Every structure is written in structure tokens, then in C-alpha cells.
């Protein structure tokens, strides 16, 4: 397992080992005990799986508010996507900053998105499937969105396309400056 830090505290890139043979490969995509040995102690309760047919489909940026805030461990099951985590912890030295990583079925990379961060992705291949683990259950009343094209955030999705494919919710999501602040930075670097 390779674990890489990012410029955002707690947002990690994980690359599980793959054991190849003449049939293909085997990989443990999540191992609670091994992750705890690396100081990553998360209790996942829900797995999500979505298919996005078109290149340039954006889902996000989303988060759930307390008491149902979610940390997520994201990977790509088929195709390719660019996954983004955005710091929305008020008082954080990296508030409003984002990091992104290309996750593909081929590279097997995973992005760990802690509580206090919004999450979104854009597809970079047709029929891309994302699978991710969540530390709390879906709570529609706590479901929130931030505009993928907020000019202050300046997220470079890395897909040159005339128009992205978005849900109505995402097409009308508020700017970061207009959301209700619900996460506070805990002061640890």
C-alpha cells in the first residue's frame, strides 16, 4: 500500500498493492486493520457505486452536514475520472483550496476525503464507474452542494468540453461564499 499526502491536511492518495498473475490481478481495496496501522481509523457503513455514461459528467461538489457528515474513500471501478476534494473547514489555513487526482480502473488509486471536505469528480472516459465507501449513511436533509465552476475556487477539471453533463441540483449549486458554514478547523496541522 502506497500512501501519499497532499497539500490538504488529511486528504490522502492511497494505492493498494496489486498481485498480478496470468489471470490478471488481485488487490485488497480496503483493509481496516492495515489502515489503522497507518493511523487511518475509519468505520465505513455504506458503499456507493455510480455509472456516468458521458465523458465530462461532473457529480459534485457534494458533502453532508453534521450529524451525518461523511468521510469517503473513493476509487474508479471502470474508466477514468478526476477526483477533487475541497477544504470547507472555516478557519482552516487551506479553506477554499482543492486538490485533485486522476483515479482510473488501471491505476487503482484511491482518494481519501475526510469530514470537512466537499467531494466531486469529472469523468474522463465514457461509461465510468465510481465506487466509494462512506462513514455515515445517506441523509437527504443533510445533502449539500457547491458550484463546480465557482470562479473563486478555480477548479481545473482537466476536461476540455463544450458543456459538462450535470444534474439539475449541481447546475444550480451555490458558490462557496454563499453556503452555510458547518465545519470548523480543529487547529491541528
Ligand X SMILES: Cc1cn([C@H]2C[C@H](O)[C@@H](COP(=O)(O)OP(=O)(O)O[C@H]3O[C@H](C)C(=O)[C@H](O)[C@H]3O)O2)c(=O)[nH]c1=O
Grid cell 476509487 — which residue?
Answer: 75
* Min separation Cβ 58 and ligand X, Å: 9
In the region spanning residues 34 to 53, those forming contacts with ligand X, defined by CB under 6 A, are: 48, 50
Helix (H) or strand (E) holding 33: helix 32-37
- For 94: left if phi > 0, alpha if psi spans -120 to 50, otherwise beta; the answer is alpha
Binder to ligand X among 10, 56, 60, 114 (CB under 6 A)? Answer: 60
Q: Residue 110: what are its φ and ψ, rounded to 5°?
A: -130, 145
Q: By C-beta, is 48 or 53 nearer to ligand X?
A: 48
Contact stretch for ligand X (CB under 6 A) within 36-44, 92-100, 114-122, 152-160: 114-122
d(CA 149, CA 187): 29
Alpha-carbon gap, residue 168 to 148, rounded angstroms? 13
CB of 121 to ligand X, least distance (A): 6
Q: Which of these segments, 26-34, 37-45, 115-123, 180-188, binds ligand X (CB under 6 A)?
A: 115-123
Choice between 56 and 60, CB closer to ligand X: 60
| Least distance CB 164 / ligand X (angstroms) | 13
Terminal CA-CA length for the chain: 24
**What's the CA gap between 187 and 57, in Å, rounded?**
35
Q: Which residues are catalytic?
A: 62, 132
Instruction: Output 37 or 172, the one with its CB closest to ligand X.
Output: 172
Binding string, residues 117-156; x marks residues near ligand X by CB under 6 A: --xxx----------------x------------------
User: Under a CB-based contact definition with an 8 Å cutoff, are residues 27 and 18 in contact?
Assistant: yes
Give the one residue of 59, 109, 133, 148 binding ligand X; rule: CB under 6 A: 59
The answer to whether the CB of 131 falls within 8 A of the CB of 49 is: yes
- Give the H or E element holding residue 19: strand 19-21
Q: How many residues make contact with ligand X (CB under 6 A)?
A: 11
Kindly list the residues in this chain that would bind ligand X in the complex (CB under 6 A): 48, 50, 59-60, 62, 72, 119-121, 138, 167
Amino acid at each position: 500500500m502506497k500512501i501519499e499526502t497532499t497539500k490538504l491536511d488529511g486528504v490522502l492518495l492511497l494505492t493498494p498493492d496489486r498481485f498480478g498473475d496470468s489471470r490478471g490481478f488481485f488487490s485488497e481495496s480496503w483493509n481496516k486493520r492495515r489502515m489503522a496501522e497507518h493511523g487511518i481509523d475509519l468505520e465505513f457503513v455504506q458503499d456507493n457505486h455510480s455509472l456516468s455514461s458521458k465523458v465530462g459528467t461532473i457529480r459534485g461538489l457534494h458533502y453532508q452536514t453534521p450529524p451525518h457528515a461523511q468521510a469517503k474513500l473513493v476509487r474508479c471501478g471502470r474508466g477514468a475520472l478526476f477526483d477533487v476534494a475541497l477544504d470547507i473547514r472555516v478557519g482552516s489555513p487551506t479553506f477554499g483550496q482543492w486538490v485533485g487526482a486522476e483515479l482510473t480502473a488501471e491505476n487503482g488509486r484511491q482518494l481519501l476525503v475526510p469530514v470537512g471536505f466537499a467531494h466531486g469528480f469529472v469523468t474522463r472516459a465514457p461509461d465510468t464507474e465510481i465506487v466509494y465507501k462512506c462513514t455515515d449513511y445517506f441523509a437527504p436533509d443533510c445533502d449539500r452542494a457547491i458550484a463546480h465552476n465557482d470562479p473563486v475556487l478555480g477548479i481545473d477539471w482537466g476536461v476540455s468540453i463544450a458543456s459538462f453533463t450535470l444534474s439539475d441540483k449541481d447546475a444550480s449549486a451555490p458558490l462557496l461564499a454563499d453556503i452555510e458554514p458547518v465545519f470548523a478547523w480543529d487547529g491541528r496541522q
